[in-house]
Structures are given as C-alpha cells and as structure tokens.
A and B are shown apart, each in its own frame.
Chain A
Amino acid sequence: MSQFDRLLSGVWTWIFGDLSLLDLVQTVTDGLLFGATYAIIGTGFALIFGVMHKINLAYAASSIAGAYISIAFASLVPLPAIVVFLLAAAASGAVGYLIYLTCFRFIPTSSPLATLMATVGMLILIDEVIVHETNGMPQPYPALFDSVMIEWGDFGLRGDLLFIFGLSVVATIALVAFLYRTRLGVATRAVAQQPVAAQLCGISVPRTNGTTFIMAGLLGGLAGAMTGAAVGTLSPLLTLPLTVKGLIVTVIGGLGSIPGAIVAGLLVGMFENLALAVRDVQERDLYVMLLLFLFLWFRPLGIFGKSSARD
C-alpha cells in the first residue's frame, strides 16, 4: 500500500469509520429514496410560504391526519393501497383548506405572529384528535411493493421506497405543470409575486390562497401516506419529526423555493441516513441540526433562496 493509499484509507476511516464504499453508496441511496418524503413535505411548506409569505406549522400534522382518515375509510370498505394513498391526499387537501379558513383567512395580516401561533394551536389540536381517536396506538398502513427488493450482489433497492420516490417525482412534475401550465397556476404565481397587482388584475386572492392550501394538502397527504407505507404503520409520533424536518428542508432549500425544497429534502434524507450509519442513532438528529445551522451561517437564504425585491 502506497503512502497516498494509506493516507486516503486513514482519512476514510476517520470520517466514515468501518463503513465500506458499498455501504456508503447504499446508505446514500436509501437516504435519497427516503428523503423523497421530506422533499414533498418541504415543497408543501415552500408552496404556502411562497404564496402567503407565512409558515403553516400544522402542515405535517394535516398530512398525517389525511393518512389516518384514509385508513379510517379503508377499515369500513376494503380498498386497494393506491386508492388509500389517493384518499389520503384528498383528505389532507380538505384538512389543508380547513386550516386556511381557521388560521389564515380571517386573521389580520397586520399581525404576523397571529397566523404562526394559530397554526401551532392547530398542530396540537390535530395531534390530540388523532391520539384520542386512535388512543395513540400505531395503525397498520398498506404498502405497495413492500416485499420487493431489487438486488445486485450486496447492493439492494427497496421496491416500496422506489415506488415512493417515483410517486414523489410524478407529484412534483404535476405540481410544476399546474403552476406553469394552468390559469390557476399563473394566478398562484401572480399572487405570490404581487398580491395587490394580482388583485387589480381581477385575481381573487382568498380563492387563490385557498387553492394553494388544497394543492399543498394534496401533496402533504401523499407524503403522509408514503411515510406510513414506508414503515407499514402510522403513528401520531410521526407528526412532530415530519414538521421539524419539513421546516429544516424549507429553510435549507430557500423559503418559498420549490426546487430548493426538493433538493434540500433529498439532501436531508441522505445526510440523516449517513449520520446514522457513521455516528450513533442518538446523534443523528444533532448532525441534521448542524447542517441547518451551517446553511443559516453561510447561506441563510438557502440553496435557491432569493432576497425578496419589488418588481
């Protein structure tokens, strides 16, 4: 072994411990696949912030609520997994609109903290309703391709995570198509850029905002369903970690930036899994927070964030 090889080996061991190159690739890949759910959650946060310049802290809770509503229906009538996922999206869209009405629509914009605190209250309310209705017990959640494993030697890809990743890509493409190819999408972007000018052009700001919450809710419901499907159970314990990860992803990606949320979601998923593989499970979230702080120090506007300026 040459000096250079020895140095490289030493540096590798210092950073990655006893993780092999294959392990590293596997860890990163799994993290990216799982990060797709964070990307969708972050996209939802970014969409709402982009349009209303406000954070909806109840967003992840509404995603999980949508997933719970879908299995409530599935317990009455047997449904295929894909229908349960779509139901989750629809239910989350409805809950999202409810959140808009209760926490944003009628709260004066002159009080910036009021909507934030209202969404905190809504987060707690949704969480408590879930706990009371289910008595806090984890509920089984259907999954697609959960027994499928695509393997090349020691490297493997989980079929269900690939499906989740694929579904996330489709959902994101659908969202982008909506924003750039439909009149409602144009209206949404107009309200995001210049709400007063948009109003003067005849665009109804409240209706556009409501639609944004429904769109974000649809995405969130998919994310909630995918999170439940990835593990095979839904638990109220998922709400807080998803909220925190969603916020981290939104900040790292750049507030209001959808491409940023997508990249940041994948980055956070990958980083989290890497931290778990290299360090202890109890330090995993610590490193994710350090990543957030690094961005706040060196790139506070996020990966794709732009400083806001009037046109």
Chain B
Amino acid sequence: MKQTFVIGPALAAFAIMGAAPGTLAADREVHIAGFGAKSGVVRSFGVNTEAMMRAAAEHINNSGGVKLGDGSMGKIVVSFYDDRCNAEEGISVVRRIAGTKAIVGVGPTCSNVAEPLFGILQKKTGDGKDTGLQFPIFTDTAIKGGLAKISEWAFRNVPNENEMYQSLFKWLRKTHPNLKTVYGGVEQDFAHSRFTWHKVMKVRAPQAGYKVLGEAKWLLADTNFTTQVRKLKKAKADIIAISAHPFTTCGVLKEMKRQRVKYKLLVGLTSSSSMETLQGCAKQAEGIIIPTSFAPVTPAAKVAAKLGAKYKGSADLHSAAAWENMIVLKGVIESMGVMAKPDTLKADRRKIRDGLAKLSKTGGLLGTITRTKEGEAIKPYLYVHAKDGNWAVLHDPGK
C-alpha cells in the first residue's frame, strides 16, 4: 500500500526558518549529483537548477544537515554536470555519475535527454534479466508529458502541462469571450515544445471552444522567421500561442513586431516564463500569458528565490522544482534510513528509489504536490504575464 509522506508543513517551515550558521558538524557526506544543460541556448536552465540545488543544500546543511539511518548527521554535497542538452552526452554523464558516490541524480534539463536516458534505466525493479542502470533520477525540468513511466527508477517533479493549458484556455474563454481563434507557433525540433503544441495546446484549445487556424514551425537554431510570421499574420488569429523556448520566442516576437502582426492575446510555453525571455525581448513579450508552477508569492517561495540568487541563479518553475527536489530528498533520506557509507551505496540508491515511489504527497513552494503512481507530479500553478519587464501573477486558479 502506498504510504503517504506529507512533507508539506515541514517544507514550508523549513524554508522560512532562519539558517543557523555553523551548526553541528556533520558526520558523513551525502552526495547528490545534478545534471542539466550548462551550455547552449538553454544554458540558463542548467545554471538556475545548479544554483537552486546548491542553495537548498546550504540551507539544509546550515539547519543541521540530514539525519542518517544510524542516527548520525550527514552533510549534503552537490556536484553538477553539463549534459549540453544532448542525449548522448546526458547518458554518458549519468553513467559517469553512477560511478561516483552520488545516491541520486537530479535532472535533466531537456526532454530530449530525459526520454532516452530513462530508457537506459532498469525498467522494473527486481528484474534480474534487465541489466539497465539501477540509479534513481529525480527530474526537475524536462517536462514532456508521460516520461517517468519509462522506468521505475525515474521520478519527476515537473508540472502537468496538459492540466495547466486545459485550465488556461478554459479561463481565457471565460474572461475573453470575444476571442475565438488560435494560431500556433512551434519549435519543431525540440521534444518539449513540439509535444506541448501538438499534444497539449492544439488539443486543449478546441476543447475550450477555440478554433485552431493553423501553425507555423521553426527550428531551435533558426534565426530567420519572416516566412513563418507572414503565415501567422495572414491567419489573423485572436490568440497566438507560441510553444518555443526563450531564444526563438524572442526571435519570433521581434519579427511579429516588424511585420506589425495584430493579435489580441499571446500565450507562451511554460519554460519561457523565465528571466531570459524578459532579458531578450521584454518589450515584445509584454502581456504574454504563461501558466507556471512557480512564482515568489508564498513565504517559502520568496526565501528559496532569495537564497538561489546568492548562487547567481533565478528561481523559475524549473529551478524551483530543483529546490523542492532537494527538500523532498532530505525527507526520503531520513525516512528510509539512508546510511551514506561507501559499502551501502547500492542499498542507499534503492532506498531512495523506494522512498520516492512511496510518496503520494509532498510539500511544494506553492502548496501541496500530489505524486502519481507513475512517478509524475501534479503541482499547483498560477498564470503569470509579462508586465513592465517582470513576471506578475495574473490569476491563481487555485483560489
């Protein structure tokens, strides 16, 4: 029977209590490895994830550390690896991590890494015939739907975009009843953005009563969008939904401004609700609405954002998930009696896996997160919009 580990109140209290510097010396080190894109156009995601992981580790250590199975205290040590948002590199990085003292991996950034990576993990625990890697991965960022079911060693703390965009389009229909049509723009060669347009936005918009007039496609490394934007302009849609990451989102928005494309509303991809979008094209992105599972609106969220900034990272829906992962892992380490000794490494990794699998609810920075038996998460979310160069909360569907 699935046990409930409710870490919510602990998480909130933990996050807002002041860090007590120089507390009890830890007896042993507990190694957690992070990995993500630290180079390339999505580098900001890896940088932010690492910052939040290190901030969370410092916070945990300054509060006394993590209690190990034999009652001694452990200090969390974070290492971070660059997978370059490349599948082969990601697999190579995880195999390398599996050869270290790390008891769990937090990552990856990119869905095109996560999918093949989960494929090399052992599919079902205890299957002696499956020689797949037995190493738990707790994903913070790679958001393409339904990946955790690939392996029982894979777990994700990523928002459910299906639900978010379903709710968003329904809300938009209610609040803007005069808007009837949607036109999509999609980064076609990136797993996340492609999935989110074709399987989420394009499905949920008609269900909310919108007519999808078409879609314009481009590639992640594209720099010329004149043809695509002209197609978009001709469609004269009320809402333009851009399923792309900050680099091409900004390129398209700038081209839309040049071609004086008229629209009533802009909807963006979850991953574009980041500072990178505003740094690249704040003016052109003004008013874009994006559903997100993070905004610094709760005391815990504000503390996490402030501590992450110390490590030169910014808190957004992805990096905040990395913080949440660290807090959840602290809870799992303590509840499962992880020993963090060299000769218990294999057993510790199994305990982490089993502990994560047992969770049905955890605390998050915005509220309680429900965990599914497939290893996925159902997270609370808000709608934010770009306003005067910042992200501001537009609506909280939970209220």
User: Nearest chain-A residue to B224 (Cβ)?
Assistant: A34
Which residues does B use to contact A, with CB under 8 Å? 38-41, 43-44, 47, 188-189, 217-224, 226-228, 230-231, 247, 250-251, 254, 257-260, 280
Partner of A230, one of B38, B189, B224: B224
Task: Give the Cβ gap from B101 to chain A, nearest Cβ, in Å.
Answer: 27
- The reply to whether A280 and B258 form a contact with Cβ atoms under 8 Å apart is no
Question: Which residues from B are CB-within-8-Å of A273?
Answer: 224, 226-227
B389 nearest CB across to chain A (Å): 15
Contacts of A83 in B (CB 8 A): none
Residues of A within 8 A of B (CB): 23, 26-27, 30, 34, 131, 135-138, 140, 146-147, 149, 156, 158, 227, 230-233, 235-238, 241, 273, 276-277, 280-282
Write out the residue numbers on chain B whose beta carbons fall within 8 Å of the beta carbon of A131.
39-40
Q: Give the interface centre of A235, A238, A276, A277 by most chain B CB atoms within 10 Å.
A: A276
Q: How far is the CB of A140 from chain B (nearest CB, A)?
A: 7
- Determine the distance from Cα of A211 to Cα of B228 in the docked complex, in whole angstroms: 41
Minimal Cβ-Cβ distance residue in B for A278: B227
Q: Which residues of A contact B222 (CB under 8 A)?
A: 281
Contacts of A280 in B (CB 8 A): 188, 217
- Asked if residues A27 and B221 are in contact (CB atoms below 8 Å), the reply is no
Q: Is the CB of B258 within 8 A of A158?
A: yes
CB–CB B251/A137 < 8 A: no
Residue of A nearest to B230 (CB): A26
Residue of A nearest to B42 (CB): A136
Q: How far is the CA of A57 from the CA of B223 in the complex (A)?
A: 22
Chain B residues, Cβ within 8 Å of A227: 223
Report the minimal beta-carbon distance from B397 to chain A, rounded to whole angstroms: 33
**Contact A30–B227 (Cβ < 8 Å):** yes
| Residue on B nearest A228 in the bound complex, by CB | B223
Closest to A26 in B: B230
| Nearest chain B CB to A291 CB, angstrom units | 17
B residues within 8 A CB of A233?
223, 247, 250-251, 280
Would B39 and A282 count as touching, CB distance under 8 A? no
CB distance from A126 to the nearest CB of B (A): 15
For the complex of A and B, 3 pairs with smallest distance between CB atoms: A136-B39, A231-B223, A237-B221
Task: State whether A282 touches B223 (Cβ < 8 A).
Answer: no
Would you call B224 and A136 a contact (CB within 8 A)?
Answer: no
By a CB distance below 8 angstroms, the chain A residues around B220 are 237
Q: How far is the CB of A31 from chain B (nearest CB, A)?
A: 9
A-B contact pairs, 22 of them (CB 8 A): A30-B227, A34-B224, A131-B40, A135-B39, A136-B40, A137-B43, A138-B41, A138-B247, A146-B258, A147-B257, A149-B259, A231-B251, A232-B251, A233-B223, A235-B41, A235-B223, A237-B221, A238-B223, A281-B188, A281-B217, A281-B218, A281-B219
